[in-house]
Structure 1
Amino acid sequence: MSRTAYDQTMRVYLHGSGRSGRDAWPSALAANAVFADVATMDGNDAKIAELSRITPKGSVLFAHSAGAVPAVLSIDRKAVSVEALVLLEPALYDVARGMPAVEQHIDVITHARALADAGDLYGFWREVRPVMFGGPAEQEKWVAEEALAARFASVELPWGHAVTPDMIEGVRTLVITGGWNAEYEAIAAVLVTHGATHQQLVGNEHRPQDHPDFEAAVQCFLEG
């Protein structure tokens, strides 16, 4: 890795719906980096305004999962001007509507949200946990996971935001997926048709930024 190249370009890291701020990027160097924290902000407009405030012109913008929605919208609205965009398992479901894996996921989450809205939080978790975390809901783990379930039942859904794949055109874009989930691979495939570069880093599922080869993959893309 060219440490000098890393240090010379500002990086802005935008988390998804899990960990936020610096906690969401434990492997990233702190030098010349900004770690956004939009966890308490409602709606994309507020998140885009925050990105505009903290993103120096010419930065590399990293966005994980649902964070890809305000990241791409901020570029489309010219709220930020970036050198490159790195998307980690981007939850840009709007760009891949109609694809079976995407529609199945939306159907599952829509039904699960209906259960949560009716007061059946465990029913919500029983449907969501396998598709989001790769394992079944278990009663013996419920006390430890109930707060997480409640948070996921209340986060803004990452579809219905009028994100279109052409919004990344003209922006150097790297999409990294974990090779474990069909809908993220489908989203990546659509973005590739609009100019993105796609790479899989298998082994860390929804957090490819924790993969030991992540930084090398980013540097290769930025230098290439």
Structure 2
Amino acid sequence: MVATSYGGNAAVIAAQRRPDLVVSLALFEPACFDLARGRPAVEEHIAAMDPVYAVADDPAVSAREFSLLFAEAMGEPAPELSKDDLEEAVGRLRRLRPPWGTGISAALGLPVPTLVVTGGWSPLYDETAEALATLGAMRSELPGAGHAAHQDPRAHGLLRDFWARVEVRER
């Protein structure tokens, strides 16, 4: 199973709940913040994003206002989108639940071979990768790839090498 960012939560949960169905995990810049709680950049991110998620269901907060709040908390400029595109994008963001409190359990560990790849740009994702490494994940970095490490041409080689080392269990 290969997942990126927020999708890393679903991948780890699937592996923890049904390791019989998952051969391995390859996680690119995973937002598995439950596994990295207590680390400085993770806690700073959660503190910045909690107020944003707190108003996600508030109809008094316009799409534009929500977009600005979300972007500011992420430390990025708000996207310049048409009104319709902004409404659609913000609608998706409002439906997201925070990538903490997801049900991932450090106590269950990583029941399958796991590769975690970061793009070498963010303490938030580096701390998360470190936490996964303490649970047994192999860690790799693609310097300069940023949050799009999964799109970096070097990612294919990392995946190929990782999968060559993974033992396929008998079903």
TM-score, length-normalised on structure 2?
0.81
Residue type at the aligned position of 2:65:
G
Shift of 1:176: 0.8
Contact 1:165-1:190 within 8 A present in 2 as well: no
**CA separation of 1:146/1:202 partners in 2, compared to 1, >3 Å: closer, same or farther?**
farther
Shift of 1:154: 1.4
Identity %: 34
What value does the CA root-mean-square deviation take over the aligned residues? Answer: 2.3
**CA separation of 1:153/1:181 partners in 2, compared to 1, >3 Å: closer, same or farther?**
farther
Q: Would you say 1:218 and 2:159 are equivalent positions? A: yes
Greater Cα shift, 123-132 or 144-153:
123-132
In the alignment, which of 53, 73, 76 is matched to residue 113 of structure 1?
A: 53
Aligned length: 162
Q: Which runs of 5+ in 2 are unaligned?
A: 166-171
C-alpha separation in 2, matches of 1:216 and 1:89: 17
C-alpha separation in 1, matches of 2:133 and 2:107: 11
Number of the residue aligned with 2:169: none
Of structures 1 and 2, the one scoring higher in RCO (CA 8 A, sep 6+) is 2
Contact 2:52-2:66 within 8 A present in 1 as well: yes
Which one has a larger percent strand, Structure 1 or Structure 2?
Answer: 1
Shift of 1:193: 1.1
Contact 1:88-1:176 within 8 A present in 2 as well: yes
TM-score, length-normalised on structure 1?
0.63
Q: Which runs of 5+ in 1 are unaligned?
A: 1-60
Shift of 1:145: 3.0
Q: Would you say 1:75 and 2:15 are equivalent positions? A: yes
Contact 1:116-1:123 within 8 A present in 2 as well: no
Note the 1:113-152 alignment, pairs <5 A: 113-118=53-58, 119-120=60-61, 121-130=63-72, 132=74, 135-137=76-78, 141=81, 143=83, 144-152=85-93
Number of the residue aligned with 2:4: 64
**CA separation of 1:142/1:116 partners in 2, compared to 1, >3 Å: closer, same or farther?**
farther
Q: Would you say 1:188 and 2:158 are equivalent positions? A: no
C-alpha separation in 2, matches of 1:196 and 1:166: 14
Note the 1:16-27 alignment, pairs <5 A: none
